[in-house]
């Protein structure tokens, strides 16, 4: 999946935050610590540093949600991160994004903290970021 395809998918999928641009994806993919698990309908972009992974972006085509695409991408990311030596994965999700939080909880993530007023929102006060984590086997 190219940076342009990732940006296009994000522009359709992200409703709780501003989507990443193709340039942001290209810059991220150029970093040796970054890891992309991409499928035609979904992707997970993250990074692995030492023994910890972080999910930076996950997107699924809105017309293909609830068909297992995001789950396949996430499980692929888990496996690839573990191969790079990660023992734990962290992520941040906007507090109002209850669907994403439920998705991550269903895949073994627990809420471990918050960043107050982290995500800007149009016409509303900034939303908290919920920090979630899970161990890798």
Q: Which residues are catalytic?
A: 92, 104
Sign of torsion, CA 83 84 86 87? positive
**Any bridge partners for residue 133, and if so which?**
90, 110
**DSSP strands (E only) in the chain:** 34-39, 42-49, 52-60, 88-94, 110-121, 124-135
């Amino acid at each position: 999946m190219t940076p342009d395809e990732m940006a296009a998918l994000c522009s359709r999928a992200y409703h709780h935050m501003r989507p990443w641009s193709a340039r942001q994806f290209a810059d991220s993919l150029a970093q040796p610590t970054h890891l992309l698990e991409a499928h035609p309908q979904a992707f997970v972009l993250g990074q692995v540093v030492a023994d910890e992974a972080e999910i930076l972006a996950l997107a699924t085509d809105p017309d293909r949600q609830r068909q297992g695409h995001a789950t396949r991408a996430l499980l692929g990311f888990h496996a690839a991160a573990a191969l790079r030596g990660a023992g734990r994965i962290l992520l941040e999700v906007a507090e109002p994004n209850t669907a994403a939080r439920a998705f991550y909880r269903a895949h073994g993530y627990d809420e471990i903290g918050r960043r107050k007023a982290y995500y800007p929102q149009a016409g509303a006060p900034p939303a908290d970021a919920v920090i979630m984590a899970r161990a890798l086997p």
